[in-house]
Amino acid sequence: MKIAIFGQFYHKNAEEAVEILLDYLYEKNTNVYVEENFFDIINHNLTNNKNYDKFKTFQSLDKSFDLLISIGGDGTMLRTTTLVKDLDIPIVGINTGRLGFLATIQNENIISAIDDILSGNYKISERSLLSIKTSPTYSEFNDLDFALNEIAISRKNTTSMITVETRLNDEYLTSYWSDGLIVATPTGSTGYSLSCGGPVITPDTNSFVITPIAPHNLSARPLIITDSTEIKLKVNGREDNFLISLDSRIATLSNETIVTIKKAPFKIKMIELLNESFLDTLRKKLLWGEDRRN
C-alpha cells in the first residue's frame, strides 16, 4: 500500500500523533510518502531527532497512491481535498485539532485504526462537493474551483447588509437581505451552516442546503434542495465588492459577478472505520443526548 501523509502544523497536540503514526508505519516497513513541507516541519521539530530514512516525500499526488492520512483538525482535512481532487484516493484524518468532525481518529486509537485500514477493515463514505463558475471569469481559484463543506458569500469592508439575488435552475427564488449566504453540502451541514441555524444532513443524502447569514427578514429560513439544482447568485450592496469563500479559500469579487454553483463532477472518498458511524459522531462531537440533569 502506497500511503501519503499530510499536515500543516506541528504543535504540542500534534507531536504525539505524528510520532505514534510515523513510528508505527516505519516499523511496518510500509511505502510512505510525507508531503514535502510537512516533512521539513517534522524534522525541524522532532525532539528525539529520529531519522525516518525509509520515508520519501511528495509535492503532488497521483493515482498510484492508495491512501492519504491527514494529521490535524477539520481544516487540514479540507485542505487535503485540494491535493486529492478527482484522483479517488481515500482520505482518513487523525484529529489533533478541536472538534474533529471530519478527522475522527484520536491519538489513543491511531495504531488500532491504521491496523484496520491496512487490513482492509473499513468502509468508504463518498462525499459530494460543490463547484463554482463566475461570469466574468476570475482566476483566483484556477483548478481549485470546488468545496467539500460550503461556498459562502459575505459582505466586505462594511457594516451594511448585502442583497443576494438567488435563482434555482434559472427560476427566481428570493433576494436575501443579510450578511451573506451559505450553500453547503451534507458534509458541510455540520459546519458554518449549522452555526447559522441550518439543519444537519446525513452524508448519503442527495441534497444541498441554502442558509442565510443573519437575515434581516426573520421569515428567511434555510432551504434544502436536491443536489442536481443549479444555483445562481448575484450580489448588490453599498460596497462595490463582496467576499466569496470555498471552504477556507477566500477571494474578492465585484458586485457585477454572477456566481453559478452546482454539484462537482467527482466525489471525495472518506474512510470510516467499522466501529464508527455518522450518527455516532453526532452524539460524540455535538453532545447529542447529553444532559447535566442526568
Same domain flag for 133 and 257? yes
CA distance 69 to 93: 6
1 by DSSP, 3-state: which? Answer: coil
Each residue of 62-78: pLDDT tens digit?
Answer: 999 999 999 999 999 99
DSSP string, 205-251: --EEEEEEES-SSTT---EEEETT--EEEEEE-SSSEEEEEETTEEE
Q: Are 56 and 18 part of one and the same domain? A: yes
Radius of gyration for the alpha carbons in the chain, expressed in angstroms and rounded: 21
Q: Which three cell numbers stand for residue 57?
A: 516525500
3-43 confidence digits (pLDDT tens): 999 998 777 778 889 889 998 998 888 899 999 999 888 88
CATH code for the domain in which residue 110 is found: 3.40.50.10330
Q: Which of 40, 74, 247, 291 is catalytic?
A: 74
In a domain? residue 239: yes
Query: Is 244 within 8 Å of 133 (Cβ atoms)?
Result: no
Domain membership of residue 283 (yes or no) is no
- Flag whether 186 is in a domain: yes
Does one domain contain both 133 and 258? yes
Tell me, rounded to whole angstroms, the distance of Cα 224 from its chain centroid: 20
pLDDT of residue 285: 81
Dist. CA 79–CA 272, nearest whole Å: 19
The pLDDT, as a whole number, for residue 109 is: 92
Length of the chain measured in residues? 294
Nearest to 126 by CA among 187, 78, 182, 174: 187
45: number of Cβ within 10 Å? 13
CATH of residue 255: 2.60.200.30
Residue 272: inside a domain, yes or no?
no
Under a CB-based contact definition with an 8 Å cutoff, are residues 23 and 52 in contact?
no
Residues 164 and 48 in one domain: no
Per residue of the chain (294 residues), give pLDDT as tens. 899 999 987 777 788 898 899 989 988 888 999 999 998 888 887 766 566 777 899 999 999 999 999 999 999 999 999 999 999 999 999 998 877 789 889 989 999 999 999 999 999 999 999 999 999 888 777 789 999 999 999 999 878 899 999 999 999 999 999 999 999 999 999 999 999 999 999 999 999 999 999 999 888 999 999 999 999 999 999 999 999 999 989 999 999 899 999 999 999 999 999 988 888 888 888 888 777 776
Q: Which of 83, 107, 84 is nearest to 12 (CA)?
A: 107
Among 120, 147, 173, the domain boundary falls at 120
Is 74 annotated as catalytic? yes
Q: Which domain holds residue 217?
A: 129-265
Supply the pLDDT for residue 88: 95
- Where b means 16+ CB within 10 Å and e means fewer, 200-237 reads ebebeeebbbbbbbebeeeebebbbeebebebbbbbeb
Continuous H helices in the chain:
12-27, 36-45, 74-84, 110-118, 192-195, 278-285
**C-alpha–C-alpha distance, residues 211 and 205, integer Å:** 17
Work out how many domains the chain is built from and give that number: 2
In a domain, 289, yes or no: no
